[in-house]
């Protein structure tokens, strides 16, 4: 009974915390979603282009892409953020926090997506490509009409995980004080000392974003699933 | 030997090696062992059809996989002591707890998939030979599931090693934190070397991670 009362009163505190700081929280969530959206779009473009270059083994581009992928995937994203924001000014490159915020997750997501799409494109069975040539498709037309739609779908589950990680990684922009939701809530609790309420709201915010994103994407996935794929 | 390198490198390298890398490796090892033990147990329990035993596990997996590790870390390091003073941890311990919560959720999810991928017939054959649930799982199912689990576990190790840097945010002296302290000390003394120092941190992580990702890819090919 007491536990239930405590829980109810805590939820009340969480609710009033949300209401009192609503404008700041909304601005923070908006910034989180903005840099996530930019990064997802950027990572898709990078992944599609470099993934295709890797799968088709286009000379020079393919090797450069391989180095990019391995360097980014094998070093922590937090160190990459430090490099962009704290080290680059030493050689005269000063980037704003917002620029670093979207750029860091774009570079990171792009590297993972290159690998996702490369694997997807390479997994398209040769018989489909042959069927394409039999129908008279030339090189780029085969890619556009056969490799991209089929390989893209094969790559979908792994690229979904990359997009979700991109959203979660935007929380690291706390270290460069870019006011996305983590930075905003950390700032509020430092002032008001409502630590438990603040971090509960922060956790719920991310869970809502991540869970609804994965729900939407699973829906998309089942819509786009290849008829042949066993489910 | 010393004359080849500029003077500032000596103390920086010594601090990063003796304190930074030591703590990073220690934290990675603790997080790997903790995540594997808790994750494999929870993931196996999740495959039991008897509901009460596994009721909380899906929530555990969804929550700790869904939260950014930084947020989990803030919860462990700042929120728990505010709830109860007995839950106050130093930065390294809080870091280990945060990494284990996230890592064990990942392992649990992978284990569930690996255990469920073992064909029904294996369970039935083991039962026919007189194995009980515990015997069946420890002697028949697990040895086969572990083969499928090994590549993702190596992949997890790479992620754990890289994610130890997040503990820098709460000031635990792992590699990135020691690098930042040295870079700031040098800047304060009017000598800027952030690019070299953070570049070295990237190189160290690359040298550790690259062979491991290769190993994970190789195991993936060999064992599945």
**CATH number of domain containing B27:** 1.10.3720.10
Phi, psi of B46 (to 5 degrees): -65, -20
Residue B178 lies in a domain: no
State the DSSP code for B56: T
A68 in reach of chain B (CB within 8 A): no
Q: Do A83 and B168 touch (CB under 8 A)?
A: no
Residue B187 lies in a domain: no
Has residue B77 got a pLDDT over 80?
yes
pLDDT of residue A228: 62
How far is residue A20's CA from residue A185's CA, in Å, rounded to a whole number? 12
Cβ neighbours of B202 in A, within 8 Å: 71, 75, 79-80, 83
Cβ neighbours of A203 in B, within 8 Å: 63, 67, 71, 75
pLDDT of residue B146: 85
| pLDDT-based confidence at residue B3 (cuts at 50, 70, 90) | low
pLDDT of residue A73: 94
Q: Are B182 and B15 in contact (CB under 8 A)?
A: yes
pLDDT digits (tens, 9 = 90+) for B139-186: 888 888 888 888 888 988 999 999 999 999 999 999 999 999 888 888
Average pLDDT over residues B116-123: 85
Higher pLDDT, A25 or B112: A25
Q: Do B206 and A75 touch (CB under 8 A)?
A: yes
How far is residue B62's CA from residue B23's CA, in Å, rounded to a whole number? 29
Q: Which of A108, A164, A215 minimizes the C-alpha distance to B67? A: A164
Give the count of domains, chain B: 1
- Residue spans of alpha helices (H) in B117-165: 120-128, 133-136, 142-163
Tell me which residues of chain A, numbers 177 to 206, contact chain B at a CB-CB cutoff of 8 Å: 182, 186, 189, 195-196, 199-200, 202-203, 206
B88 in reach of chain A (CB within 8 A): no
pLDDT of residue A97: 92
How far is residue A215's CA from residue A221's CA, in Å, rounded to a whole number? 10
Residue of A91, A172, A203 to mutate when probing chain B, most B C-beta within 10 A: A203
- Could you tell me the residue range of the domain that residue B59 belongs to? 21-173
pLDDT of residue B224: 66
Q: Which of B123, B103, B99, B122 minimizes the C-alpha distance to B111? A: B103
| pLDDT-based confidence at residue B211 (cuts at 50, 70, 90) | very high
Q: Which of B64, B34, B61 minimizes the C-alpha distance to B46? A: B61
pLDDT of residue B2: 53
Q: Are A124 and A151 in contact (CB under 8 A)?
A: yes
Calculate the alpha carbon distances from A53 to B49, B198, B202 in Å: 47, 30, 26
Tokens for A157?
């589950």
pLDDT of residue B53: 66
What is the least distance, in Å, from the CA of B134 to any CA of chain A? 30
Domains and CATH numbers, chain A: 2-224 (1.10.3720.10)
Across all residues in chain B, what is the average pLDDT?
88
Tell me which residues of chain A have a pLDDT lower than 50.
230-231
pLDDT of residue B38: 93
pLDDT of residue B92: 92
Residue B47 lies in a domain: yes
Residue B206 lies in a domain: no
How many residue pairs bridge chain A and chain B with CB atoms within 8 Å of each other?
108
pLDDT of residue A231: 43
pLDDT of residue B84: 84
pLDDT of residue B193: 85
Give chain B's length: 224
HSE at residue A32, side-chain half, CA atoms within 13 A, is: 29
| pLDDT-based confidence at residue B103 (cuts at 50, 70, 90) | very high
Residue B195 lies in a domain: no
Given the structure tokens 């969530």, which residue do they identify?
A: A29
Q: Do B162 and A83 touch (CB under 8 A)?
A: no
Q: Do B67 and A168 touch (CB under 8 A)?
A: yes
Residue B224 lies in a domain: no
């Amino acid at each position: 009974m007491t536990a239930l009362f405590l829980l109810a009163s805590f939820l009340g505190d969480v609710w009033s915390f949300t209401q009192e700081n609503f404008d700041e929280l909304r601005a923070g969530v908006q910034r989180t979603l903005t840099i996530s959206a930019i990064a997802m779009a950027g990572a898709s473009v990078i992944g599609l282009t470099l993934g295709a270059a890797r799968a088709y083994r286009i000379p020079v581009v393919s090797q450069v892409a391989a180095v990019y992928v391995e360097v980014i995937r094998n070093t922590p994203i937090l160190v990459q953020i430090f490099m962009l924001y704290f080290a680059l000014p030493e050689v005269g490159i000063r980037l704003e926090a917002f620029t670093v915020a979207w750029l860091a997750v774009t570079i990171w997501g792009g590297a993972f997506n290159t690998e996702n799409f490369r694997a997807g494109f390479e997994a398209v069975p040769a018989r489909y490509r042959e069927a394409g040539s039999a129908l008279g498709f030339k090189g780029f037309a085969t890619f556009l009409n056969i490799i991209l739609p089929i390989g893209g779908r094969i790559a979908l589950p792994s690229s979904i995980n990359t997009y979700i990680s991109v959203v979660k990684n935007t929380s690291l922009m706390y270290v460069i004080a870019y006011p996305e939701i983590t930075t905003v809530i950390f700032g509020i609790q430092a002032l008001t000392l409502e630590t438990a309420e603040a971090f509960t709201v922060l956790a719920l915010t991310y869970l809502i974003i991540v869970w609804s994103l994965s729900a939407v994407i699973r829906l998309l996935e089942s819509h786009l699933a290849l008829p042949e794929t066993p489910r | 030997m010393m004359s080849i390198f500029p003077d500032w490198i000596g103390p920086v390298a010594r601090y990063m090696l003796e304190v930074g890398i030591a703590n990073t490796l220690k934290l990675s090892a603790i997080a790997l062992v903790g995540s594997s033990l808790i994750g494999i147990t929870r993931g196996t329990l999740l495959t039991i059809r008897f509901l009460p035993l596994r009721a909380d596990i899906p929530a555990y997996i969804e929550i700790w996989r869904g939260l950014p590790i930084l947020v989990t870390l803030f919860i462990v390091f700042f929120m728990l002591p505010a709830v109860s003073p007995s839950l106050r941890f130093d930065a390294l311990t809080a870091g280990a707890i945060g990494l284990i919560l996230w890592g064990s959720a990942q392992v649990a999810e992978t284990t569930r998939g690996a255990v469920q991928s073992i064909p029904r017939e294996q369970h039935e054959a083991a039962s026919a030979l007189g194995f009980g649930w515990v015997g069946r799982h420890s002697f028949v199912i697990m040895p086969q599931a572990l083969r499928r689990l090994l590549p993702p576990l190596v992949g997890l190790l790479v992620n754990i090693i890289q994610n130890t840097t997040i503990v820098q945010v709460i000031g635990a002296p792992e590699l990135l934190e020691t690098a930042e302290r040295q870079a700031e000390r040098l800047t304060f003394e009017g000598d800027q070397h952030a690019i070299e120092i953070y570049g070295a941190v990237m190189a160290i992580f690359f040298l550790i991670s690259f062979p491991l990702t290769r190993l994970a890819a190789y195991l993936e090919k060999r064992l599945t």
